[in-house]
A and B are shown apart, each in its own frame.
Chain A
Amino acid sequence: MQDSAVVAQGARNAAAMADHAHGGHPTYLLHHFNSVEQQADASSFAMWLFLLTEVMFFGGMFVVYLIYRNWYYPAFVAGSRQLNVALGGINSALLITSSFTMTLAVWNARMRRKGGMILCLVLTFALGAVFLGVKGAEYKEKFEKHHVPGEHYSLQSFLNPDSDPAAAGTRPLPLDEARHTELFFSLYFAMTGMHALHMIIGMGLMAYILFRARGGAYTAGHTAFVEYFGMYWHFVDIVWIFLFPLLYLINRH
């Protein structure tokens, strides 16, 4: 039962719907949207909201970090010293570069350049993979030095800094402070681990995009999915931009 007033005033839209039914709109326009603009606005808004939930997710960990860093500053300094600034810096550069190639991939998609887009995506993927490789090497080193929190956690590097080249020359920490380095590494692994997990998910999505891009899926005018993936990738980049100074560069002078 549709009342007549609504019918009368909905005529304009009825026409639009009929238009839709006859294929007057691009194929990627989903049935429940009235226009491409509406679809684009809605989906980009949704993507932003999703990224905001991610902000709150990582934000929770940053709150934890903030509290403990203030409580156990010496332990955090000593823990931070165990991290390799060079590797961290390289990783920052890698991720920033991958973020750059990602923007170029989106630009290429928009310009409908399939080859350029695929090239940029492959580069992004490769840079991400190298990042994870470096991260893996760092994890391995921590594992070997027993700096992974848990039963086998070792305080050697902090109690006898001279036994560890990374800590050589620093003041030995008293036992009670040294114990708190475990908190630093807990946060280090939780934060970088969650970040790495996001990258792995991102690279999975990227593989899917690459697979579809070969068929020209994103270079025919509808670039939304690549764009939103790009936003996600940039977000992962932003997280690292904060993680790097906060974890690697505490009191390095």
Chain B
Amino acid sequence: MSHISPVIWQFLVKWMTNFALFPPEASKIAPQMDALYFFMVLVSLIGLTIVVLLVISFSILYNRKRHPVAVQIEGSTLLEATWTIIPLGLFLVMFVWGALIYFRVFTPPANAMNIYVVGKQWMWKVEHPGGQHEINALHVPEGRAVQLTMISQDVFHSLSIPAFRVKREAIPGRYTTVWFEATTPGTYHLFCTQYCGTNHSQMTGDVVVMTQEDYRKWLASSTSGESLAQNGERLFASLSCAACHNTRPDARGPSLANVYGAKLTLSSGGAVIADEAYLREAILNPSQHITQGYAPIMPTYQGQISEEGVIALIEYIKHLDSDYRVEQTLTTTDMLPEGEGATPAGKASAGNAPAAKGMVKP
């Protein structure tokens, strides 16, 4: 070994650093998924061993030298039934087990904190409710359920965090969600795993898991000064949404106070829960989502608001928990000429704006 070339040695050292055969388990779901994974590895190994051992031992026992005349056997219903039913049973176990995990990964708990992710060629844009923006990075606290609400503004992307064992496509035109609860502080890979064009392989980033305290510090230090909801409020004002969506008795649109999470009856007769997906649709394709009792007069905002804008609006609507807030926006809109309203509007509502810790909807 002493004669090993320094160049090769250098490579070996480089390769062996961080070399792993199995990814770290850094989320609550990871050990659960790995249990199933190793169960399946075990079953596969047993199956493979059986096949290989049988092939080898038959090859030895029944090769032509030792066993010159083959014994013709038609088959054996019992044996065949065995190797039909046992694999089927095992596969069904895997199916049920897998389905349980699948539903767990894609059913966020009610108290999860929400972070928005917008995928575009070729970067991940992360929007925290507190107004923190990140590109190709995602900071999350440990020990808190985090829900990612994702959308793509161009092609299919797929957000993958191998250490958390979660992955979900960000698709154009529709929100998808995934959630996780990080358990170990550290920095992990973030990949786009759905081929999305030229720089697909550069659409990577880091997921930084921090202790709750560090996370709070990080939030405070990287805020842009304006929360997502405040941003949305400004948009709400500049798009004159409040001209219809207000609390006046003659309002042409329904009041949006407390609308998030409420069950709405639509003019088409159907009922719907006003979640993020519904709110997005109602902004971009309003006439198909008219609340009962209102005329279909809302114009579409498709092409006028970016995906981030829609997210800000939704975040704003989510925080409208009283008519007072709507009024507040209304007043600011009335008070200020359009365009100039940015900073003062922000200030005006700063007092009402939810603090970072109030992000979770009770």
Interface residues of A (CB under 8 A from B): 72, 74, 173-177, 179
Contacts and interface: CB of A to CB of B under 8 A. Distances in A.
A10 to B, nearest CB: 26
A174 B286 CA distance: 9
Contacts of A174: 286-287, 296-300
B284 interface: yes
A177 B288 CA distance: 8
A174 B288 CA distance: 9
B285 interface: yes
B302 interface: yes
Interface hub of B288, B298, B300 (most chain A Cβ within 10 A): B288
Interface string B104-147: 00000000000000000000000000000000000000000000
A179 B299 contact: no
Interface in B279-300: 284-288, 296-300
Contacts of B299: 174-175
Nearest to B302: A176
Nearest to B301: A176
A173 B288 CA distance: 11
Q: Which 10 A-B pairs have the closest CB atoms?
A: A176-B300, A174-B287, A176-B285, A175-B300, A177-B287, A176-B287, A174-B296, A175-B299, A176-B302, A176-B286
Contacts of A176: 284-288, 300, 302
6 contacts: A74-B287, A173-B287, A174-B299, A176-B300, A176-B302, A179-B302
A166 to B, nearest CB: 21
A interface, by DSSP: helix, strand, loop or mixed? helix
B interface, by DSSP: helix, strand, loop or mixed? loop
Contacts of A177: 285, 287-288
Interface of B: 284-288, 296-300, 302
A161 to B, nearest CB: 15
Nearest to B290: A174
B245 to A, nearest CB: 17
Contacts of A179: 300, 302
A172 to B, nearest CB: 10
Nearest to A71: B288
Contacts of B298: 174
Nearest to B297: A174
Contacts of B284: 176
Contacts of A175: 299-300
Interface hub of A74, A173, A174 (most chain B Cβ within 10 A): A174
B241 to A, nearest CB: 16
Nearest to A171: B296
Nearest to B285: A176
Contacts of B288: 72, 74, 176-177
A177 B287 CA distance: 7
A176 B302 CA distance: 8
A176 B298 CA distance: 10
Given A174-B300, A176-B288, 7 more contacts: A74-B287, A74-B288, A174-B296, A176-B284, A176-B286, A177-B285, A177-B288
A176 B284 CA distance: 7
Contacts of B286: 174, 176
A180 B118 CA distance: 25
Contacts of A173: 287
B53 to A, nearest CB: 39
B269 to A, nearest CB: 13
Interface hub of B285, B298, B299, B302 (most chain A Cβ within 10 A): B285
B294 to A, nearest CB: 13
A174 B295 CA distance: 11
Contacts of A72: 288
A173 B296 CA distance: 10
B123 to A, nearest CB: 28
B232 to A, nearest CB: 21
B84 to A, nearest CB: 31
A45 B94 CA distance: 42
A211 B287 CA distance: 57
Contacts of B296: 174
Nearest to B289: A176
Interface hub of A72, A175, A177 (most chain B Cβ within 10 A): A175
A72 B284 CA distance: 14
A179 B296 CA distance: 15
A177 B281 CA distance: 12
A175 B301 CA distance: 10
Contacts of B287: 74, 173-174, 176-177
A175 B297 CA distance: 10
A69 to B, nearest CB: 14
A212 to B, nearest CB: 51
A173 B298 CA distance: 12
A174 B302 CA distance: 12
A153 B284 CA distance: 20
A176 B280 CA distance: 13
Interface hub of A74, A173, A174, A176 (most chain B Cβ within 10 A): A176
Contacts of B297: 174
Nearest to A174: B287
A30 to B, nearest CB: 39
A72 B285 CA distance: 11
A246 B296 CA distance: 27
Contacts of A74: 287-288
Nearest to A72: B288
Contacts of B300: 174-176, 179
Interface hub of B298, B300, B302 (most chain A Cβ within 10 A): B300
B296 to A, nearest CB: 6
B169 to A, nearest CB: 19
